[in-house]
Amino acid sequence: MTATPDIPTTSRAAVVTEFGKPLEIREVPIPEPPAGALIVKIEAAGICGTDVHVADGSAAASQPIELPIIPGHEMVGRIVRFGEDAERDSAGQELALGDRIVFTHSACGRCFHCTVTKQPGLCRERIMYAFTSCAREPYLTGGFAEYCYVFPTSGRIRVPDEVDTEWATAASCALRSVVTSFQRLGTIEPWENVVIQGSGPLGLFATAMASVAGANQIIVIGDPESRLALARRWGATSTISVGEHPTAEERAQIVQDLTGGAGADIVMEFSGARTAFAEGLDLIRDGGRYVVTGQMGPQEVTITPVTITRRHLTILGSWSGEAAQYWRALEFMRIHRERFDFGAMITGRYHLDQANEAMERMQRFEEIKPIILPTLSTDVHDQADVSLE
């Protein structure tokens, strides 16, 4: 394939050179894509809580991080260069120059999990965006950049015309992770009560999916109020503020009161909070189900295993997602775009040069989902209205 004439030889990127230090803007080479690979021009890259933990080094508890790295793993790019035999996406749709795509981390395609269990997310040789060094080819291995490399074995899904680019960034991480969690969970019956721990992007998307699934009650635990207000708009029947009810005992009592003393049929953990897992066990009814998605850090908790056996609990871990979940996430947005104002989750827009400011605001919970827009004017910071009552 021939390259379009306006592609430069290097790309500006925001780079982590040392854990806990500000990101640096660097020029990074743009490689020639081999067979199966693509080069995309980044339209938008969402900032995930994981990006904050990658930058401070704590995310190394779940996956090795080899500095220097370019953060960002939830991005939408327009195809500007094809490698050979890369003209279809993972759902079989034709791709053309200028198409918007989201794309997955790169599994090896040869190991037990890739070939036998069909769970490439568990591949031990998986190359992950935002965790992989940008100091060697293919260099552009994160979304906080003008351009990005799509690995030959990365799944890629064309973004439907009806789905806004900024929404699609969130679909490529938060929503696809929630889709995976709901697939792990299985059917939600119309009489079942669901507790969602966390009111960040994952918790909010889980609220929307539980609402579409027809749950009887959806109880969201989190903060700040702007996020809880959006959760109520997206289907939460009750919200519990951690600030107003600071102890686990208080929150458990509220859940007991709302569920007639039984506890929740389903608890879904999306908060990542150190104490959330142990607390979640106290929120479930006997025989209930618990899906744990947000626990990514190195924290340890003490539990009494008989809590699980005697109460006949089902505990399910859920991790990441693959091309099928990316497709389902985008379809969820396409189908339900009139029901949920997905744009309300996007609370700030920043240029690459403002990446440090955006990361700091994310860390202070002043943003729900900030976006890096490489083409945004450097003197413009678009702060969305987060007064969501």
pLDDT band at 377 (very low <50, low <70, confident <90, very high): low
> What confidence tens digit (pLDDT) does each residue in 293-314 have?
998 777 788 889 999 999 999 9
Contacts of 377-385 with C-beta under 8 Å, sequence gap 24+, read 377/351, 378/351, 378/353, 378/354, 380/349, 380/351, 381/348, 381/349, 381/350, 381/351, 381/354, 381/357, 382/348, 382/349, 383/347, 383/348, 383/349, 384/344, 384/346, 384/347, 384/348, 384/349
Backbone angles phi, psi at 350, to 5 degrees: -135, 150
The token duo for 375 is 């083409």
Tell me if residue 144 falls in helix, strand or coil. coil
Distances (CA, A) of 249 to 198, 252, 255, 256, 281: 17, 5, 10, 10, 12
Contact yes or no for 298/58 (Cβ under 8 A): yes
The matching CATH number, chosen from 3.40.50.300, 1.20.120.80, 3.40.50.720, 1.20.58.390, for 175-317 is 3.40.50.720
Looking at residue 4, its pLDDT comes to 56
Alpha-carbon gap, residue 295 to 192, rounded angstroms: 24
Task: Map tokens 């351009």 to a residue.
Answer: 147
CB-based contacts of 74: which residues, under 8 Å, 6+ apart? 45, 46, 48, 102, 143, 169, 170, 172, 173, 174
pLDDT (tens digit per residue) in 251-300: 999 999 999 999 999 999 999 898 999 999 999 999 999 999 998 777 78
pLDDT bucket at 386, cuts 50 / 70 / 90: very low
Cβ neighbors of 136 (< 8 A, separation 6 or more) are none
Is the separation of the CB atoms in 147 and 42 below 8 Å?
A: yes
Predicted confidence band of residue 49 (pLDDT cuts 50, 70, 90): confident
- Residue 110, judged by CB atoms within 10 A of its CB (0-12, 13-18, 19+), counts as exposed
Which pLDDT score is estimated for 137?
A: 97
Phi, psi of 332 (to 5 degrees): -60, -45
383: pLDDT confidence band, cut at 50, 70 and 90? low
Cα distance between residue 281 and residue 289, in whole Å? 10
**The dihedral sign for the CA sequence 112, 38, 329, 58:** positive
Which DSSP state fits 47? P
Query: Where in the chain do CATH 3.90.180.10 domains reside?
Result: 10-158+341-383
pLDDT band of 372, cuts 50, 70, 90:
very high
SS3 label, residue 298: coil
DSSP for 86-124, written as a single string: --B-TTS-B--TT-EEEEEEE--SSSHHHHTS--GGG-T
Confidence of residue 387 (pLDDT cuts 50, 70, 90): very low
Tell me the CA end-to-end span of the chain in Å, nearest whole number. 51
Q: What is the average pLDDT value for the chain, to the nearest integer? A: 93
- Tell me the HSE value of 96 on the side-chain side, using a 13 A CA sphere: 0
pLDDT of residue 8: 95
Distances (CA, A) of 230 to 284, 295, 362, 388: 24, 23, 17, 6
21, 35 Cβ separation under 8 angstroms: no
User: Is pLDDT above 50 for 125?
Assistant: yes
Q: Write out the DSSP string of 235-288.
A: T-SEEEETTTS-SHHHHHHHHHHHTTTS-EEEEEE-S--TTHHHHHHTTEEEEE
pLDDT at 379 over 70: no
Q: What fold characterizes domain 10-158+341-383?
A: Quinone Oxidoreductase; Chain A, domain 1 (3.90.180)
Instruction: Label residue 136 left, alpha or beta by phi (over 0 means left) and psi (-120 to 50 means alpha).
Output: beta
Domain with CATH 3.40.50.720 in the chain: 175-317
CA distance 46 to 374: 11
- Using CA atoms, how far apart are residues 73 and 169, in angstroms rounded to an integer? 9
